Amino acid sequence: MGKAKKAAIIIILVVLVGGYYFYLTNFRYAEGETVVTAVQDVLLKNLDNDYPPTPREVLKYYSDITKCLYNEDYTEQQLEQMADKLLALYDEELAANNPREQYIQDLKKDVTEFLQNGYSIVSYTTSKSTDVEEFSQDGRKCARMYCTYSVKTGADYKSSKQVFILRRETETGRWKILGFELVNPE
């Protein structure tokens, strides 16, 4: 019994030392990884080379940026970069109605008011791909879809539903946001 007990103790020690070694080697690799913030993640997307291919993906990217604007910490430069990403998702008509400098000022004001009222965007849900309503208007392909944002204020949760109209560009085939509005605003 003495030899079996010693062998069991030695095996347990070898397993413990091996496990500890494995932990340390993997821990060192994890230390070298860079953590990307949500703001950096949306800003890293190169819309020239990796434009969202469907109306739903355009709306998801738009909503990711919106969540960052209203929930995350960022610099003035990052705010302007996010505004530029949003403008790049807009149809030429909507972008023309939102000159960059005025758009940035309005965006800052909206974000400030939203935060002063104690709101934060918890999550969002877009229409399923099968629920995207496509139609033609003036010979151009359009899509209508919905996005519901869950908004928290204090301990209360509310939902804000918006309808988005997207239009497909003739030249590039990219879906661009033509307009949006609240559904049944309170």
The CATH number of the domain holding residue 108 is 3.10.450.50
Closest CA to 65 of 100, 101, 99, 38: 38
The string of DSSP codes covering 4-23 is HHHHHHHHHHHHHHHHHHHH
* Residue 18 domain-assigned (yes or no): no
> What pLDDT, on a 0 to 100 scale, did the predictor assign at position 169?
94
User: What is the pLDDT at residue 10?
Assistant: 75
- Give the pLDDT score at 157: 92
pLDDT digits over 125-140, tens only?
Answer: 998 888 899 999 988 9
Low pLDDT (below 50) residues in the chain: 28-29
Query: Is 17 domain-assigned?
Result: no
For 154-181, the pLDDT digits (tens) are 889 999 999 999 999 999 999 999 999 9
**Structure token pair of residue 22:** 């494995």
Distance between CA atoms of residues 78 and 59, nearest Å? 20
Q: Nearest CA to 123 among 64, 177, 41?
A: 64
C-alpha closest to that of 142 among 178, 166, 109: 166
Domain containing 74: what range?
38-182
Residue 29: per-residue pLDDT = 44
User: Is residue 143 domain-resident?
Assistant: yes
**DSSP states along 30-92:** HHTPPPPPHHHHHHH--TTTS--SSHHHHHHHHHHHHHHHHHS---HHHHHHHHHHHHHHB-H
Domain count for the chain = 1
Is 16 inside a domain boundary? no
Look-up of token digits 């909507």: 94
Whether 4 is covered by a domain: the verdict is: no
For the full predicted model, state whether its pTM sits above 0.85.
no
- The pLDDT value recorded for residue 185 is 59
Residue 42 forms part of a structural domain: yes
Three-class SS state of 94: helix
